[in-house]
A and B are shown apart, each in its own frame.
Chain A
Amino acid sequence: MDDKPAIRIRDLHKRFGDLEVLKGVSLTAHPGDVIAIIGGSGSGKSTLLRCINMLEHPTSGQIAIQGEGYRMRPARGGGLEPADRKQVQRIRAQLGMVFQNFNLWPHRTVLENVTEAPIHVLGQPRAQAIDRARQVLARVGLAEKADTHPIHLSGGQQQRAAIARVLAVDPLAMLFDEPTSALDPELVGEVLGVIRDLAREGRTMILVTHEMAFARDVANRVIYLRDGRIEEEGTPEQLFGDPQSPHLKQFIRSVM
């Protein structure tokens, strides 16, 4: 890989009507970085993550994926909107997003969920896509479930299938939005295990999580978001071992 940052965000602002949710966030993820974003409810973590693949349109600021900045233009109601939809689609195909609620497509089998983007977005030959899908399903421990429909899977299995769906396109970076928050406690471990393996393998990822022990374990950088701003960032040792901000101290105390 070249040394261009995988994801670079500069001075990102986002408002919903009168509510300013992000108030100037800058962040750079280099290839291989695992960045954990922590913070209280409503601090803007999901919004930040969703701006990276343009599921939310920033009000101002720049976002570049592997050196390529989104081309934006002023939107009608104020703020910005993508000027080039094709570019957004192309960049999205390189970013894998894993949602809190899995969001698998229930009318397709697990295998079809995984081959959907490679075949229909990337235009890969079907046989090749199926090969690759079986590989990634095996990686997340779902080889046997390939031909099942998602409804027959447990929450943990569904989330692992969603991770496989993202891995199938060999993404430049993976975005996780609280991937274990919707799971029963006994199913959290299997999903975290898969994510940990991917992190160890050198995948670039940005991870919104409430699992502090996990963030401390896998992340090489932690960002504490509060009220739309990065209040503190550093290595897990710095943030969890020696937090500076009183809010962060309190936050860590409340969730640990």
Chain B
Amino acid sequence: MRNILTPMMMPHRLIMAALALAGLTAMALTMQWDWLPANLPRLWDGLLMTLAMLAGSVVVGFALALPLALFQVMGPAPLRWLSLGFCTVIRGTPLLLQLWLFYFGLGALFAQFPEIRDSWAWPYLRQAWPYGFLALTVSFAAYQGEVMRGAFTGVPHGELEAARAVGMSPWLVFRRVWFPRALHRALPTLAGEIILQLKSTPLVATITVTDLYAVITRIRQTTLLTYEPLLLLVAVYLCLSGILILALRWLENRVPTQR
């Protein structure tokens, strides 16, 4: 942890922190924040929804990205083309469009089947968040599939050969050398992609999922305030990005390696 904290004590950082503090004080004194206490519970729920969307789509999306990447690297031709096609289509179309297609298209389609309407899943499927989660997950999987494909092919062949030469099974080679090496190579990119994913989550507000952005929008409508709620939103997203960046950098620094 020390190697992250010490650079923060550099003079220019301290000056920037002081400026930020001054700005915050000015905001607190001159702007109107009386709506905040009453709305805290809703804001908290919104934050939790945003975090759930982010964490869920990142974890599940990454799990899906691995087979997508591996099929492209060494799969049989049909699976290779399928994965490549999937990644290309998803990456080549706007997330907003996918979100709407899933929510309005898939949602309406499900509603037409009595089997689905009567099933245990229906109470979930009639809500908006599963579609938001699905769209975010699929999108993350497609981008990470591409990142991991590059990372897997980038692991030097000799390292894998050395693993085979000591008698590792293909699965052991994957688990002990290929995957950890690829993951480490991909971490810097992955960190950026997770930040991007965070900034994609507000799109789910367009299909009525009440994430933090949706809550803020509603507060703006009821209080008729323009800037204050948005400033809060900015502050929260900045904090989340900052925490993510620090956490991922720490992870990266645990293994010194040339890439």
Contacts and interface: CB of A to CB of B under 8 A. Distances in A.
Interface of A: 53, 55, 85, 89-97, 99, 101, 103-107, 116-117, 120-121, 149, 151-152, 162, 165-166, 169
A89 B167 contact: yes
B177 interface: yes
B166 A149 contact: no
A103 B169 CA distance: 18
B161 A103 contact: yes
Q: Mostly helix, strand, loop or mixed at chain B's interface?
A: helix
B162 A99 contact: yes
Contacts of A103: 156, 158-159, 161-162
Given A99-B158, A99-B161, A116-B176, A106 B257 contact: yes
Contacts of B161: 55, 99, 103
B172 A149 contact: no
A89 B168 contact: yes
A83 to B, nearest CB: 16
Interface in B157-181: 158-159, 161-169, 172, 176-177, 180-181
A107 B258 CA distance: 10
B184 interface: yes
B192 to A, nearest CB: 21
Contact of A106 (B163, B172, B176, B181): B181
Interface in B208-234: none
B7 interface: no
B182 to A, nearest CB: 10
Given A53-B165, A55-B164, A121-B168, A151 B181 contact: no
B11 interface: no
Given A149-B257, A151-B256, A105 B162 contact: yes
In order of increasing CB-CB distance, the 5 nearest A-B pairs are A93-B167, A103-B162, A103-B158, A117-B166, A92-B167
A106 B258 contact: yes
B36 to A, nearest CB: 46
Nearest to B166: A117
B121 interface: no
Contact of B167 (A106, A121, A165): A121
Contacts of A93: 166-167
Contacts of A151: 256-258
B56 to A, nearest CB: 28
Contacts of A90: 167
Most A CB atoms within 10 A — which of B162, B184, B255, B258?
B162
